[in-house]
């Protein structure tokens, strides 16, 4: 593997974000344009070429700002908080199939529906082979880009094979009153009972992006022949796009410890990712990240974490220490909350709430503001923008790490006050 490397040296620089002003001077970048692909069924992963990763910051010394949870201010934006559904078991992902219908995955293997604000007591499907232990189970959901025509959606869930955990992504048919499993499109993604990844999102290029954790085998994150510790990119039929950075491989990025949040900015098309940092047994606690994702880039885990960097590794935009445990990602596009338009949000598990991140309008690699919404609902995982501009989110208080509140777990909605 050959790379053009500009020497940096390792910098440890910490400061507290009190005024919420963060400056990281970095150039912009864009995702590759979609191309015509060869439709083929994936078999084995044999990367035969390595691209030089795009490293955003070329200044010396490199500064990665640290955001301390205790110093993040509370947003002054008011809202109404409404319970949409309750009595759920660790709702992991929610999608809207229409303005008045929501599908939600529960980590124990059920997909439920909420129609006109009412939770259907009967699941639409139950995945009998799902293995729900610690952080594994039924995880991400997303709709096919042509869902309005074909009623196809996709789900990621964990299975147990010979004592090992693996994630798979399956194709589903939404029949209205039930959901039918049509087949597996990618399988054998190492999961581990912790660091299981599991977020799936269709990008504006029509490709399906999948996050995988390091499966408690952190060295696999640096192995491009492994699917662990990566962001994967595939076609909707499971084949590998010909413009992926590694030939005959779904690997899009590597060196990712455990990501559960992906979304694209409408302003510049950049893919932004949230990623969990180490938790003590595998490194100093904290170091949660927000990253600009570029094809073929190496995000450093486990070679570096927190404010560390090294030649050829792409640094994060920010380091959250102590941990906030970012569990999702969403750019807010509506004008229902004008202050929030084009802001980036993520749900925090350890941070217990919703965090808003503002990127500088003239430089997408500069974070100019971080704040937290005024909520007391416990651990927050997924959040999405509803068709009406409201913000919907799920709690994760029944995951064994939170303090269970009456009626948990819930789906909430934030509406204009």
In Å, how far from its chain's centre is CA 198? 8
In Å, how far from its chain's centre is CA 187? 19
Instruction: Kindly report, residue by residue over 263-294, the tens digit of the pLDDT.
Output: 999 999 999 999 999 999 999 999 999 999 99
Angle at 410 between CA 407 and CA 412, to 5 degrees: 125
Q: What is the pLDDT of residue 28?
A: 30
Kindly state whether residue 97 falls inside one of the protein's structural domains.
yes
What band does 62 get if pLDDT is binned at 50, 70 and 90? Answer: low
Kindly state whether residue 347 falls inside one of the protein's structural domains.
yes
Q: What's the mean pLDDT in 332-358?
A: 97
Range scoring the smallest mean pLDDT among 20-29, 143-152, 172-181, 312-321: 20-29
Q: Is 260 left (phi over 0), alpha (psi -120 to 50) or beta?
A: alpha
What band does 16 get if pLDDT is binned at 50, 70 and 90? Answer: very low
Q: Which long-range contacts (CB under 8 A, 24 or more apart) does 1-6 make?
A: 1/50, 2/50, 3/50, 3/52, 3/53, 3/312, 4/52, 5/311, 5/312, 6/55, 6/58, 6/311
Q: What is the pLDDT of residue 365?
A: 87
Token pair recorded at residue 164: 């090992």
Q: What's the mean pLDDT in 49-74?
A: 65
Q: What is the pLDDT of residue 361?
A: 86
Burial environment of residue 59 by CB neighbours within 10 A (0 to 12, 13 to 18, 19 or more): exposed
pLDDT beyond 90 at 22: no
Q: How far apart are CA 381 and CA 223, in angstroms?
A: 29
Q: What is the pLDDT of residue 1?
A: 41
Q: What's the mean pLDDT in 77-102?
A: 98
Token pair recorded at residue 260: 């559960």
pLDDT beyond 80 at 37: no
Kindly state whether residue 42 falls inside one of the protein's structural domains.
no
Kindly state whether residue 34 falls inside one of the protein's structural domains.
no
Q: Residue 328's domain is classified under what CATH number?
A: 2.120.10.30
Q: Give every CB contact of residue 84 below 8 A, 6+ residues apart in sequence.
A: 102, 114, 117, 392, 410, 411, 412, 413
Model's pTM, two decimal places? Answer: 0.87
Q: How far apart are CA 392 and CA 347, in angstroms?
A: 11
Q: Is 219 left (phi over 0), alpha (psi -120 to 50) or beta?
A: alpha
Q: What is the pLDDT of residue 63?
A: 81
Token pair recorded at residue 318: 């920010």
Q: What is the pLDDT of residue 36?
A: 24
Kindly state whether residue 1 falls inside one of the protein's structural domains.
no
Q: What is the pLDDT of residue 54?
A: 36
Domain range for 399 is 66-416
Share of the chain above pLDDT 90, in %: 83
Kindly state whether residue 146 falls inside one of the protein's structural domains.
yes
Instruction: Kindly report, residue by residue over 235-249, the tens digit of the pLDDT.
Output: 999 999 999 999 999
pLDDT beyond 60 at 25: no
Q: Give every CB contact of residue 149 below 8 A, 6+ residues apart in sequence.
A: none
Q: What's the mean pLDDT in 91-111?
A: 98
Kindly state whether residue 126 falls inside one of the protein's structural domains.
yes
Kindly state whether residue 342 falls inside one of the protein's structural domains.
yes
Q: What is the pLDDT of residue 364?
A: 85
pLDDT beyond 50 at 17: no
Q: What is the pLDDT of residue 46?
A: 37
Q: Please give the residue that has the higher pLDDT: either 318 or 21.
A: 318
- What sign does the CA torsion over 120, 398, 329, 335 have? positive
Of 226, 227, 231, 228, the closest CA to residue 215 belongs to 228
Range scoring the smallest mean pLDDT among 59-68, 135-144, 241-250, 325-334: 59-68
Total of domains in the chain: 1
What band does 18 get if pLDDT is binned at 50, 70 and 90? Answer: very low
Please provide residue 231's backbone torsions phi and psi, each rounded to the nearest 5 degrees.
-110, 125
Q: How far apart are CA 2 and CA 304, in angstroms?
A: 20
């Amino acid at each position: 593997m050959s790379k053009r490397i500009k020497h940096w040296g390792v910098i440890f620089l910490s400061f507290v974000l009190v005024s919420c002003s963060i400056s990281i001077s970095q150039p912009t970048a864009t995702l590759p344009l979609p191309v015509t692909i060869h439709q083929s069924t994936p078999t084995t992963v044999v990367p035969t070429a390595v691209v030089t990763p795009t490293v955003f910051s070329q200044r010396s010394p490199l500064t990665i700002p640290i955001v301390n949870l205790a110093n993040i201010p509370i947003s002054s934006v008011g809202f109404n908080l409404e319970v949409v559904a309750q009595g759920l078991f660790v709702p992991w992902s929610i999608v809207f199939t229409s303005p008045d219908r929501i599908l939600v995955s529960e980590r124990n293997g059920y997909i439920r529906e909420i129609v006109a604000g009412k939770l259907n007591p009967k699941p639409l499907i139950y995945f009998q082979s799902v293995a729900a232990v610690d952080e594994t189970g039924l995880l991400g959901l997303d709709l096919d880009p042509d869902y309005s025509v074909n009623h196809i959606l996709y789900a990621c869930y964990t299975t147990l094979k010979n004592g090992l955990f693996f994630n798979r992504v399956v194709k589903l048919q939404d029949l209205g009153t039930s959901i039918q499993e049509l087949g597996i499109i990618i399988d054998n993604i190492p999961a581990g009972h912790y660091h299981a990844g599991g977020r799936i999102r269709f990008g504006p290029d029509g490709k399906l992006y999948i996050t995988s954790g390091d499966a408690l085998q952190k060295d696999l994150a640096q192995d491009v022949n492994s699917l662990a510790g990566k962001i994967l990119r595939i076609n909707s039929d499971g084949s590998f796009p010909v413009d992926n950075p590694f030939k005959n491989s779904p690997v899009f990025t590597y060196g990712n410890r455990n990501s559960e949040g992906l979304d694209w900015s409408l302003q510049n098309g950049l893919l932004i990712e949230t990623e969990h940092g180490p938790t003590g047994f595998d490194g100093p606690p904290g170091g949660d990240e927000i990253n600009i994702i570029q094809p073929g880039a190496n995000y450093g885990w486990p070679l570096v974490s927190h404010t560390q960097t090294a030649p050829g590794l792409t640094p994060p935009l920010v380091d959250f220490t102590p941990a906030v445990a970012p569990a999702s990602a969403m750019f807010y596009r509506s004008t229902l909350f004008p202050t929030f338009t084009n802001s980036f949000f993520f749900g925090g598990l350890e941070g217990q709430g919703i965090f808003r991140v503002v990127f500088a309008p003239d430089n997408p690699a500069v974070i100019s503001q971080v704040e937290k919404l005024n909520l007391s609902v416990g651990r927050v995982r997924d959040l999405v923008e509803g068709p009406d501009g409201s913000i919907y989110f799920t709690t994760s208080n029944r995951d064994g790490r939170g303090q269970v509140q009456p009626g948990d777990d819930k789906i909430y909605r934030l509406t204009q006050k």
